[in-house]
């Protein structure tokens, strides 16, 4: 049999290499986080086309500041949702308000470190209370965390009579930049990398994924199911509290309603980012893409004069669309 010529070999290899390249593109498109970044890029192009590159650049820099808060609350909610069907934390907005007020109050008398510690401790306490309501009283997570949010909001009201501005050094840092990148974006990036390592390179992360997919099978395999669920509620409370302090530092102080808009957003960035709402699969990268997409979409709606109600409707429609699309892919 005659050996194939170099031209024949090259011709035969070309379709194979094309298939490999095509397969690589398909894998990227199938990644759960890909569409959130694609959406952010499309909205960014629309902003640049309509309002100009300079305004688009300013919007992107603003997104790296205020979109960071979407990332942080999304990371908190993502951990809880990953722990299994029905798990959710609706106390995030009230924890943001309470922790912000506690943090500012303690910082005024005891310094920045003590203020952060007190705020995070309050968030952990709320997270533990949420878990106790769910575990000991057998209350569904959505009801337990919503009920606790009312109590936490009442506690925040008792602190609202003392309005403290953030320390000047903290306020300057929160609004500062390093090599043009906002400090807040760098903080969120470090936290995101830490959570990604925790989820994908640790025993805890593998256990959490197993619990989210099938808690009984995870329990039979020796995974501490309830310990995992308790841990994610504690982490959610801590991250929400940390977010409240940073938001207070940027805003010049804490207010009762500063966490309200993050109720729906914390869920939206998780769902749009590709985390399974049924649990078992989290994507930190997707939280970033979804946060940028939602912030840029919000910027467009604001420019068009849309009110808070229209923005909430848009978020709700996006969540429904993503959940339906994900359900369709799973069925197929």
Report whether pLDDT(14) > 50: no
Residue 206 lies in a domain: yes
In this predicted structure, the answer to whether residue 35 has a pLDDT above a threshold of 60 is yes
In a domain, 6, yes or no: no
Q: Count how many domains the chain has.
A: 1
pLDDT in tens, 185-210: 899 999 999 999 999 899 998 989 99
Q: What is the reported pTM? A: 0.82
Look at residue 127 in the predicted model and tell me its pLDDT.
93
CATH number of the domain that 224 lies in? 1.10.3470
Residue whose token pair is 């309509």: 50
Whether residue 28 is contained in a domain is answered as no
Look at residue 252 and tell me if it is in a domain: yes
Whether 4 maps to a domain, the answer reads no
- Asked if residue 213 has pLDDT above 60, the reply is yes
| pLDDT bracket for residue 16 (50, 70, 90) | very low
Residue 9 included in any domain: no
- Kindly tell me if the per-residue pLDDT of 22 is higher than 50: no
SS3 sequence, the chain? CCCCCHHHHHHHHHHHHHHHHHHHHHHHHHCCCHHHHHHHHHHHHHHHHHHCHHHHHHHHHHHHHHHHHHHHHHHHHHHHHHCCCCCCCCCHHHHHHHHHHHHHHHHHHHCHHHHHHHHHHHHHHHHHHHHHHHHHCCCCHHHHHHHHHHHHHHHHHHHCCCCCCCCHHHHHHHCCEECCEEHHHHHHHHHHHHHHHHHHCCHHHHHHHHHHHCHHHHHHCCCCHHHHHHHHHHHHHHHHHHHHHHHHHHHCCCCCCCCCCHHHHHHHHHHHCCCCCCCCCCCHHHHHHHHHHHHHHHHHHHHCCCCHHHHHHHHHHHHHHHHHHHHHHHHC
Residue 181, beta-bridge partner list: 178
Mean pLDDT of the chain: 81
Q: Which tens digits make up the pLDDT trace of 37-84? A: 777 788 778 778 877 777 777 777 777 778 889 999 999 999 999 988
Domain extent, residue 224, equals 35-331
Of residues 6 and 220, more confidently modeled: 220
39 found inside a domain: yes
pLDDT at 150 over 50: yes
Question: Is 1 a member of any domain?
Answer: no
């Amino acid at each position: 049999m005659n050996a194939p010529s170099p031209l024949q070999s090259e011709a035969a290899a070309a379709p194979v290499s094309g298939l490999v390249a095509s397969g690589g593109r398909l894998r990227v498109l199938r990644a759960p986080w890909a569409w959130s970044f694609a959406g952010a890029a499309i909205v960014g192009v629309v902003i640049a086309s309509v309002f100009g590159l300079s305004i688009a650049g300013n919007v992107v820099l603003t997104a790296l500041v205020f979109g960071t808060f979407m990332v942080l609350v999304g990371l908190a909610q993502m951990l809880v949702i990953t722990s299994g069907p029905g798990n959710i934390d609706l106390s995030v907005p009230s924890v943001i308000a309470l922790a912000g007020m506690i943090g500012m109050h303690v910082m005024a008398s005891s310094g920045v470190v003590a203020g952060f510690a007190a705020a995070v401790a309050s968030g952990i306490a709320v997270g533990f209370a949420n878990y106790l309501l769910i575990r000991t009283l057998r209350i569904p997570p959505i009801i337990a965390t919503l009920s606790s949010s009312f109590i936490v909001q009442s506690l925040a009201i008792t602190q609202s009579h003392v309005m403290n501005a953030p320390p000047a050094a903290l306020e300057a840092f929160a609004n500062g930049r390093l090599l043009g990148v906002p400090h807040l974006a760098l903080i969120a990036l470090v936290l995101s990398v830490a959570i990604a390592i925790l989820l994908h390179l640790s025993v805890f992360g593998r256990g959490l994924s197993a619990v989210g997919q099938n808690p009984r099978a995870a329990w039979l395999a020796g995974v501490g199911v309830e310990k995992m669920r308790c841990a994610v509620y504690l982490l959610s409370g801590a991250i929400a509290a940390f977010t409240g302090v940073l938001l207070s530092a940027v805003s010049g102080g804490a207010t009762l309603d500063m966490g309200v808009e993050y109720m729906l957003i914390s869920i939206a960035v998780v769902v749009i980012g590709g985390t399974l709402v049924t649990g078992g699969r989290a994507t930190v990268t997707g939280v970033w893409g979804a946060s940028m997409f939602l912030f840029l979409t919000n910027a467009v709606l604001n420019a068009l004069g849309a009110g808070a109600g229209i923005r909430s409707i848009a978020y709700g429609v996006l969540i429904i669309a993503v959940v339906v699309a994900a359900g369709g892919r799973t069925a197929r």
